[in-house]
Each structure stands twice: as C-alpha cells, then as structure tokens.
C-alpha cells in the first residue's frame, strides 16, 4: 500500500439492517476510517441489480457475439451501465478490497456473485495475452494487480464441520472459486480468510467479542500478507496454462497445491 492514506472499497452483502453482519460492517468501516479512505458498496441497500443483461453487453442491444467480447467492447467504448461504472470507479481507486457476506449454501449470496459478473469485465479486471510472456493476464497478473483483499465470512457451522476433514468441506476449498478463481484471477491478492464460526448462535457477549476481534485485525491490515500466497501463472510452475508441473507436490490433487508454503 501507499505511504499516504490508503483507500478501501468495502463490499457488503447482507439484507438485514440490524443483523450481526451489519454490526461488523459498521464497526469495521468505522475502525478503518481512522487512517484509511473508505468507500462502501451495500449491495442490498443500494438494490444492486445482479442480473447480467443486454445493457451490459453494449449497443446495439441484442447483437450476436461472445458475452466476454461484447462486455470488453462495451467497456472500451465507455458504454457500461452507470451502476457498473460507479462500482468500477470505487474498485479501481482501492488499495484494499473487503468482501463481507454470510455463507449461504456454501458460497456467497447470489447478489455478490452478480456483482462479480457485471463489474469484473473484460478490459477492466482481466485482459489479453501479455506479448512478453505469451500468457494471459490472469492469476496474479490481472488488470487489478497491486490490490489486496480481505474476505470476511460468517458461517452457521462450527470450525470442525467446515474444517479440513469436516462433513461440509474445508472452507478454504469452498471459497476457492472466490479467492483464486475471482480475486487472484484478476490480480487481487487475497489475505487469509476472516471467519466467524457459529455466527447464528452468538449471544451479546459473543457479538462484542467478534467485533473486537475484527477491529484488532483491521488495525494491522496495512502490513498484512497472506500466510500461503497463491502461485502466479507467469512463474513457470504450470504446464502451459493448464496444470501444475508434475514434479511439484507429486501425487497431490487438492486445491492446496496452488499455494506457496512460506517457511
């Protein structure tokens, strides 16, 4: 991050104004605002439309073509819808991106997925092949490279059931499509998840404790790095653009192979 006041874009997805998530959102934004410039996106309150539709594909509407290409042309021509351009402005200005949501059906709410669909367009979040490497600008080198992200997720299950051997699956793996396939794909480096387990059953003291825990983490977020960062596509560890080299972690097929272990 820069030496001056860094900028944060906090994207929040929860429909209830008096929820536990709303408390974390308010307290977290207040804490970061002491030494950061914070812009927020409250998806439900703003009634953000998550449905990618004809206006997102440029003009004339209804024309044939690949959706990715059409959205790229619309961005290049400055024809993206105004709600999308405003979100892109906030994201472009950010040093740190915060994504906060409850875990619903083992993933983010649909409104957040729709935000990704409409905002992270071709030409804005990812781009063509880099002529110097012959590789696409993705997985660490997307057009949003240089930013970091903190994912704050509340879960109704305990640490065991969404742990490494949990019946519901490991939370890091469940959110791999977000942390790796969305954030890292576009160049945004995800920090370690901030998870609140058993969020549905927290009483007043537990809510206060989780608020304090989040604020304490945010107090050091400017200097934080991921404990096990993802591998970059450009670093030669993948065969072409498809698979990790056979000599690296042979025999393993879990999603953890895409992370670098820091000694």
The pTM score is 0.92
- Average pLDDT of the residues in 127-150: 89
- Average pLDDT of the residues in 99-105: 96
List the Cα angle 150/153/156 in 5-degree steps.
Answer: 165
- Which residues are 150's β-sheet partners? 98
Q: How many domains does the chain have?
A: 1
Q: Give 95 or 137, the one with higher predicted confidence.
A: 95
Rounded to whole angstroms, what are the CA distances from 219 to 2, 29, 37, 53, 187?
16, 12, 14, 40, 24
Kindly state whether residue 261 falls inside one of the protein's structural domains. Answer: no
| pLDDT number for residue 239 | 82
Residue 198's domain comprises 7-228
| pLDDT number for residue 148 | 97
| pLDDT number for residue 130 | 83
When pLDDT is cut at 50, 70 and 90, the band that residue 3 belongs to is low
Kindly state whether residue 241 falls inside one of the protein's structural domains. Answer: no
| pLDDT number for residue 129 | 84
When pLDDT is cut at 50, 70 and 90, the band that residue 4 belongs to is confident
- Within a 10 A sphere around the Cβ of 41, how many other Cβ atoms? 21
Kindly state whether residue 111 falls inside one of the protein's structural domains. Answer: yes
pLDDT digits (tens, 9 = 90+) for 31-67: 999 999 999 999 999 999 999 999 999 888 878 899 9
Q: What is the DSSP letter of 2?
A: -
Kindly state whether residue 191 falls inside one of the protein's structural domains. Answer: yes
Kindly state whether residue 258 falls inside one of the protein's structural domains. Answer: no
Classify residue 258 as left (phi > 0), alpha (psi -120 to 50) or beta.
alpha
- Which residues are 37's β-sheet partners? 7
Distance of CA 196 to the CA centre of its chain: 17
List the Cα angle 195/37/35 in 5-degree steps.
Answer: 80
When pLDDT is cut at 50, 70 and 90, the band that residue 263 belongs to is low
Q: Which of 14, 8, 47, 46 is nearest to 30 (CA)?
A: 8
Q: 57-61, 169-173, 191-195, 203-207: lowest mean pLDDT where?
A: 57-61
| pLDDT number for residue 34 | 94
Structure tokens at 182: 């969305």
Q: What is the DSSP letter of 253?
A: -
Kindly state whether residue 175 falls inside one of the protein's structural domains. Answer: yes
CA separation for the pair 130, 136 (Å, rounded): 6
Kindly state whether residue 160 falls inside one of the protein's structural domains. Answer: yes
- Which residues are 88's β-sheet partners? none
| CATH classification at residue 106 | 3.40.50.360
> Is a pLDDT exceeding 80 seen at residue 1?
no
Question: If DSSP codes are grouped into helix, strand and coil, which group holds residue 124?
Answer: coil
HSE, side-chain direction, 13 A CA sphere, residue 60: 3
CA separation for the pair 6, 98 (Å, rounded): 13
> Is a pLDDT exceeding 80 seen at residue 103?
yes
Kindly state whether residue 262 falls inside one of the protein's structural domains. Answer: no
């Amino acid at each position: 991050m820069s030496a001056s006041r860094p900028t944060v874009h906090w994207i929040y997805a929860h429909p209830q104004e008096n929820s536990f998530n709303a408390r974390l959102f308010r307290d977290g934004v207040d804490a970061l605002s002491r030494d950061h410039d914070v812009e927020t996106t409250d998806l439900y309150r703003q009634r953000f439309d998550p449905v990618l539709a004809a206006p997102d594909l440029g003009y004339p509407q209804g024309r044939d073509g690949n959706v990715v290409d059409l959205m790229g042309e619309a961005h290049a021509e400055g024809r993206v819808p105004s709600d999308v351009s405003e979100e892109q402005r906030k994201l472009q200005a950010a040093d740190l991106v915060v994504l906060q949501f409850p875990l619903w059906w083992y993933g983010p709410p649909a409104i957040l997925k729709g935000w990704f669909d409409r905002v992270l367009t071709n030409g804005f979040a990812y781009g063509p092949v880099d002529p110097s490497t012959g590789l696409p600008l993705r997985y660490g080198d997307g057009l949003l490279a240089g930013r970091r992200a903190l994912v704050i997720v509340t879960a109704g299950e305990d640490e065991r059931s969404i742990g490494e051997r949990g019946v519901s699956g490991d939370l890091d793996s469940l959110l791999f499509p977000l942390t790796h396939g969305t954030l890292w794909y576009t160049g945004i480096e995800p920090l370690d998840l901030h998870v609140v387990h058993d969020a549905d059953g927290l009483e007043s003291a537990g809510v206060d404790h989780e608020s304090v825990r989040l604020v304490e983490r945010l107090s050091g977020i400017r200097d934080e790095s991921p404990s096990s960062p993802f591998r970059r596509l450009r670093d030669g560890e993948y065969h072409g653009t498809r698979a990790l080299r056979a000599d690296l972690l042979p025999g393993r097929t879990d999603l953890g192979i895409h992370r670098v272990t820091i000694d």
